């Protein structure tokens, strides 16, 4: 990942799962137009690392910002929860990976419990 763009961000929970805000427009930064990812969604397939754990995912636009999607499997591997500040490194994927649309998920019991415990600690 020599040309990866590195940044930190908070892992947040959206209506389709967890994500981290990407602090740049991938099309502008990489000079690559967004591609169809699944029905009704365009974006960029990326390879990356989240707290050192490798992953392949997508960066999608939402609310005039860009977000890298983080699935629960990656969250578990990186030992992170919603609300954590994470280190991210991403670059355009060189593989022809076909991604599936994220399924609408509700927070898991673990996510809710960790969010409540984190809020209690901050008081």
> Which residues does 108 contact at the CB level (< 8 Å), separation at least 6?
72
Strand, coil or helix: 37: strand
Please state the rounded mean pLDDT for residues 57-71: 94
Q: Which residue has the higher pLDDT, 112 or 1?
A: 112
Q: Quote the pLDDT of residue 61.
A: 93
Beta strands in the chain, from DSSP E residues, in sequence order = 5-14, 17-22, 35-38, 41-50, 53-62, 65-70, 85-92
pLDDT in tens, 76-123: 999 999 999 999 999 999 875 555 555 555 556 666 677 777 777 766
Q: Does 24 score more than 90 pLDDT?
A: yes
Domain segments of the chain: what residues? 5-122
Q: Quote the pLDDT of residue 1.
A: 57
Q: Which CATH number fits domain 5-122: 3.30.465.10, 2.40.30.100, 2.40.50.100, 3.40.50.720?
A: 2.40.30.100
């Amino acid at each position: 990942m020599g040309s990866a763009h590195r940044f930190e961000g908070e892992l947040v929970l959206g209506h389709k799962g967890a994500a981290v805000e990407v602090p740049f427009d991938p099309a502008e930064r990489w000079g690559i137009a967004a591609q169809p990812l699944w029905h009704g969604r365009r974006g960029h397939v990326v390879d990356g690392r989240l707290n050192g754990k490798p992953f392949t995912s997508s960066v999608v636009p939402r609310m005039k910002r860009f977000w890298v999607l983080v699935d629960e499997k990656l969250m578990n591997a990186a030992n992170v929860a919603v609300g954590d500040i994470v280190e991210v490194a991403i670059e355009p994927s060189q593989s022809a990976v076909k991604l599936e649309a994220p399924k609408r998920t509700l927070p898991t019991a673990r996510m809710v419990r960790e969010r409540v415990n984190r809020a209690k600690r901050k008081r």
